[in-house]
């Protein structure tokens, strides 16, 4: 009797794009799926085929072959074509938590509509596994996972284990130590077949004591092995020790779980070890320009567009579900591990950029439409009226900047109660003829205000309190001038109630934290060094030059108003132009860095940085020193916080002897912030750009934020941080990845006393990354400038709030407020972003608890453990 059962699953790993473009991939996908359908229909002995768990492949194919829908749906219903649960094979470490949830949501929905979904967390090639994926999987009814990258045999000798998220949820998981492509090549020669099988199966048997073993058959863009059933018969005839079957990967994982019967190792959190498989730890900063677009659009959709659409639905407007889905799907294509990684050809990254442009344009214009549909239904008492929206679920008084079309005369900006609001005019340009020539009067007999002059005006304003998840009205009163004036001088310091910031002679900042009286030097220190890496990995050159902004300040001035104080600083760093000059110690080019360091009325120090990049193959970081000699760093991850060592000492001591695929470096990802703290105080760096940090310094007391890195080739060999073969194509040059020209970055620095409050850090990031839309309601703007709309009844209230959620330290945080996809109400997703404490879920009228699929009922939890998630469906009364 054969003592081992080997489960082959037949599949292809289908990258949507890589060194090739998405167009080329789609054309070949069309041919591939045609063959899959033909082979399965003609051969009942071929039990099943896995289409990479990506429902997007199904949509792409049926767009061009709708005539195959019935046949394909039948095969899916029969579980012969395996599809889902993903829409695309997404990254899990720098993609927003809501993006991952929606990726699974749409992937499962599409698969279900076409016959059924494979409920397996199948991740063959993503570069590491997100720490809280277990609870996300569980809330989609997925209890099993199968993946390749992220675990060293130092940590786990066996291939199967229980994987726990922070909240305690777990999924039974199998790792493929040698990848999804391990059985991609099968020997068909009778004389050598047995030796081939022994050679392939011996390493698998050495890693598992179970009687059921996995043998993945497939590889990237692999054709279907049409004779696989015949080959399996030959395997069984020649191999007397093992029995081979073609099976689904989910059935294999379930079978192993039954064999394990609960007796398996337990692993917790994120899995990012690169001993046997590369995880490309520094891919988080590759193509910083594309990473910034991703982060900007994710924040726009989750923090602003979706809440505004919920407000709009509550007032009677239809939810544009298909448009919203199209925006998300564009983002999902870009969230695929290669696409968001940026580890592609320049031509492919141009496709990525264009999808971001499409997604941003759709989101921006959909947001404009719905803020306008609401605004034009509110009674108007003034010719220059502005509807100001607050997409946050709590009352807020932000400082915001918006564009207005004004007559160029002094005015006071008033809120709905008539209270004057402090504001500054930042820009003003006269465009009278351009604007008025585009006005369209659908009813010429209707009186309207026609200004003598029109100026496009950029206004910065300190708002009064805005209603939660709602809007209010402001107006311009021209009876007096309420503008604050900005003045410039050459002072070297700025301050508010929280900080005093001084630029020192060497160009570094000193920050005095007023609440503690402590003085912190070595702040905002720009550090440039070479990058000998490629599209996958940062790697320092063997002969490097490290150049800092210390002593490079060439200009400084100060700008002050009632709203904001700013230090405007300009640096010039003399740098090598490329790696050849860097190795020789030569500097022949200057790189300008312009910085706006701003203090407003809160405890955030805001930084806007413009870099004119003239250098090739280098990395620019910014450092902030603390007084904390850290052992651990803290950053936000999917629905929670991750605690990481600042140095992987044990792995670093053995990685070269054990031939790890990558050096175990502590350059780490985040969602939006990184923190260092002790029991008495702490420091948080919030980013709106690259989501990558490192804790540096002799005492590990300095937070380093990567602004960008550049390189010239998709793949390179024999890097210091990644020995051996190239990961990408060495012949593919990537001049676009040098990011030449002007680049802009934004981040914020915050000091506090007391204990670390992860909920507060998450709330600060969410508010800072949220756009507060403003719509000007003026008759003369109705026309070609904005598109013309007909008059409607003005019956909406001038102030409105959908609902208010508590936002104290003991309350759950709302990840999103959005329209439900398949019902007429709303979805409010609560989570606990803290590290160790429970938080309460607020009670809501007409609400019931559902899983992440928005359909399956879920018991009310009352409180949430750390990183726990609860989704509420709120019906419309």
Specify the CATH number of the domain 494-768: 2.70.98.30
Contact between residue 610 and residue 597 where contact means Cβ atoms under 8 Å apart: no
Query: How far apart, in Å, are the Cα atoms of 813 and each of 303, 314, 451, 634, 768?
Result: 13, 22, 45, 18, 15
Contact between residue 876 and residue 845 where contact means Cβ atoms under 8 Å apart: no
Q: Which two tokens stand for residue 452?
A: 């003598």
Q: Which two tokens stand for residue 626?
A: 């603390």
Give the position of tokens 């990684």: 341
Contact between residue 865 and residue 167 where contact means Cβ atoms under 8 Å apart: yes
pLDDT for 73 equals: 98
| Residue closest to 762 by CA, chosen among 714, 834, 693 | 834
Total Cβ atoms within 10 A of residue 262 = 7
**Which string of DSSP letters, residue by residue, matches 309-367?**
HHHHHHTTPPP-HHHHHHHHHHHHHHHBHHHHHT-S-HHHHHHHHHHHHHHHHHHHHHH
CATH class of 803-874: mainly beta
668-702 residues labelled b (16+ CB within 10 A) or e (exposed): bbbbbbbbbbeeebbbbbbbbbbbbbbbbbeebbb
pLDDT for 270 equals: 97
The domain made up of 285-375 has a fold known as: Substrate Binding Domain Of Dnak; Chain:A; Domain 2 (1.20.1270)
Distance, in Å, from the CA atom of 508 to the CA atom of 524, rounded to the nearest integer, reads 6
pLDDT for 1 equals: 55
Distance, in Å, from the CA atom of 788 to the CA atom of 795, rounded to the nearest integer, reads 20
Residues in the chain, pLDDT under 70: 1
The domain made up of 385-483+772-800 has a fold known as: Immunoglobulin-like (2.60.40)
Residue 317's contacts (CB-CB under 8 Å, 6 or more residues apart) are: 370, 373, 374
Domain range list for the chain: 4-279, 285-375, 385-483+772-800, 494-768, 803-874
DSSP secondary structure letter of residue 355: H
Distance, in Å, from the CA atom of 372 to the CA atom of 358, rounded to the nearest integer, reads 21
Query: How far apart, in Å, are the Cα atoms of 317 and each of 147, 375, 472?
Result: 43, 12, 18
Total Cβ atoms within 10 A of residue 502 = 18
| Percent with pLDDT over 70 in the chain | 100
pLDDT digits (tens, 9 = 90+) for 537-552: 999 999 999 999 999 9
Residue 464 CB burial class (10 angstroms; 0-12, 13-18, ≥19): middle
The domain made up of 4-279 has a fold known as: 7-stranded beta/alpha barrel (3.20.110)
| Residue closest to 153 by CA, chosen among 275, 236, 252 | 275
DSSP secondary structure letter of residue 467: P
Contact between residue 331 and residue 352 where contact means Cβ atoms under 8 Å apart: no
Contact between residue 49 and residue 38 where contact means Cβ atoms under 8 Å apart: no
pLDDT digits (tens, 9 = 90+) for 289-333: 999 999 999 999 999 999 999 999 999 999 999 999 999 999 999
577-596 residues labelled b (16+ CB within 10 A) or e (exposed): bbbebbbeeeeeeebbbbbb
Q: Is 77 helix (H, G, I), strand (E, B) or coil?
A: helix
Total Cβ atoms within 10 A of residue 326 = 15
Give the position of tokens 């085929």: 49
Distance, in Å, from the CA atom of 673 to the CA atom of 634, rounded to the nearest integer, reads 8
- CA 403 from centroid of its chain's CA atoms: 28
pLDDT for 861 equals: 85
| Nearest-5° Cα angle at 769, 763 to 775 | 115
């Amino acid at each position: 009797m054969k003592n081992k059962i080997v489960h082959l699953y037949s599949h292809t790993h289908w990258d949507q794009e890589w060194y090739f473009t998405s167009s080329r991939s789609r054309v070949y996908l069309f041919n591939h799926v045609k063959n899959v359908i033909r082979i399965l229909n003609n051969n009942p002995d071929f039990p099943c085929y896995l289409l990479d768990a990506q429902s997007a492949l199904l949509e792409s194919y049926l767009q061009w072959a709708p005539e195959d829908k019935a046949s394909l749906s039948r095969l899916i219903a029969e579980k012969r074509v395996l599809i889902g649960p993903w829409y695309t094979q997404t990254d899990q470490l720098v993609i927003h938590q809501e993006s991952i949830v929606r990726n699974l949501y749409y992937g499962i929905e599409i698969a279900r509509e076409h016959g059924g979904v494979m409920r397996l967390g199948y991740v063959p090639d993503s570069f590491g596994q997100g720490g809280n994926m277990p609870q996300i999987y569980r809330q989609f009814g997925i209890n099993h996972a199968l993946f390749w990258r992220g675990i060293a045999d130092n940590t786990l000798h066996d291939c199967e284990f229980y994987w726990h998220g922070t909240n305690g949820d777990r999924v039974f998981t199998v790792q493929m130590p040698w990848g999804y492509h391990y059985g991609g090549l099968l020997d068909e020669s009778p004389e050598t077949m047995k030796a081939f099988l022994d050679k392939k199966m011996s390493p698998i048997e050495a890693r598992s004591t179970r009687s059921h073993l996995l043998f993945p058959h497939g590889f990237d863009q692999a054709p279907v092995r049409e004779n696989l059933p015949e080959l399996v018969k030959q395997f069984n005839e020649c191999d007397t020790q093992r029995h081979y079957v073609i099976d689904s990967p989910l059935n294999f994982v379930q079978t192993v779980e039954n064999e394990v019967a609960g007796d398996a190792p337990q692993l917790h959190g994120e899995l990012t070890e690169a001993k046997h498989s590369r995880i490309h730890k520094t891919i988080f900063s590759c193509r910083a320009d594309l990473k910034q677009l991703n982060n900007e659009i994710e924040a726009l959709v989750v923090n602003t567009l979706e809440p505004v659409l919920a407000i709009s639905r509550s007032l009677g407007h239809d939810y544009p579900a298909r448009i919203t889905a199209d925006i998300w799907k564009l983002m999902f294509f870009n969230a695929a591990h290669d696409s968001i990684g940026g580890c592609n050809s320049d031509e492919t990254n141009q496709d990525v950029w264009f999808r971001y442009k499409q997604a941003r344009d759709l989101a921006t214009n959909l947001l404009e439409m719905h803020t306008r549909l609401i605004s034009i239904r509110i009674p108007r008492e003034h010719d220059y009226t502005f509807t100001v929206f607050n997409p946050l679920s709590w009352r807020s008084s932000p400082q915001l900047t918006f564009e207005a079309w004004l007559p160029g005369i002094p005015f006071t900006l008033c809120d709905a109660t008539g209270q004057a609001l402090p504001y500054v005019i930042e820009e003003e340009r006269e465009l009278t003829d351009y604007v008025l020539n585009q006005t369209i009067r659908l009813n010429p007999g209707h009186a309207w205000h026609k200004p003598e002059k029109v100026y496009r005006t950029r206004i910065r304003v300190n708002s009064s309190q805005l209603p939660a998840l709602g809007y209010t009205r402001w107006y311009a009163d021209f009876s007096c001038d309420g503008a604050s004036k900005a003045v410039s001088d050459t002072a070297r310091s700025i301050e508010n109630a929280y900080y005093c910031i001084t630029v020192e002679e060497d160009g570094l900042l000193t920050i005095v934290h007023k609440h503690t009286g402590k003085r912190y030097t070595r702040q905002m220190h720009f550090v440039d060094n070479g990058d000998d890496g490629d599209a996958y990995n940062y790697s320092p050159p063997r002969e490097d030059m490290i150049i800092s902004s210390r002593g490079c300040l060439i200009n400084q001035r100060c700008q002050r108003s009632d709203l904001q104080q700013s230090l405007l600083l300009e640096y010039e760093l003399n740098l090598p132009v490329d790696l050849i000059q860097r190795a020789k110690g030569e500097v022949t080019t200057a790189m300008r860095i312009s910085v706006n360091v701003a203090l407003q009325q809160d405890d955030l120090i805001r930084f806007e940085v413009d870099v004119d990049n003239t250098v090739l193959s280098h990395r620019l970081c910014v450092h902030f020193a603390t007084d904390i000699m850290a052992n651990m760093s803290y950053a936000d991850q999917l629905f929670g916080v991750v605690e990481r060592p600042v140095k992987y000492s044990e792995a670093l001591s053995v990685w070269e002897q054990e031939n790890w695929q990558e050096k175990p470096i502590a350059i780490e990802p985040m969602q939006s912030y990184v923190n260092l703290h002790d029991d008495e105080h702490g420091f948080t760096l919030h980013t709106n750009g690259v989501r990558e940090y490192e804790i540096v310094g002799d005492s590990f007391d300095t937070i380093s934020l990567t602004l960008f890195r550049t390189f010239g080739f998709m793949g390179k060999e024999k890097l210091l941080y990644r020995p051996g073969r190239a990961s990408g194509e060495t012949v593919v040059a990537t001049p676009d990845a040098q990011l030449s020209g002007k680049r802009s970055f934004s981040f914020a620095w915050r000091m506090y006393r007391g204990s670390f409050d992860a909920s507060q850090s998450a709330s600060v990031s969410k508010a800072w990354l949220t756009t507060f839309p403003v719509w000007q309601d003026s008759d003369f703007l109705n026309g070609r400038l904005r598109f013309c709309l007909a008059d409607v009844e003005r019956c909406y209230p001038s102030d409105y709030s959908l609902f208010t959620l508590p936002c104290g330290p003991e309350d759950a945080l709302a990840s999103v407020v959005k329209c439900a996809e398949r019902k007429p109400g709303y979805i409010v997703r609560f989570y606990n972003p803290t590290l160790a404490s429970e938080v309460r879920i607020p009670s809501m009228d007409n609400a019931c608890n559902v899983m992440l699929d928005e359909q399956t009922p879920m018991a009310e939890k009352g409180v949430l453990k750390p990183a726990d998630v609860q989704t509420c469906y709120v019906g419309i009364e």
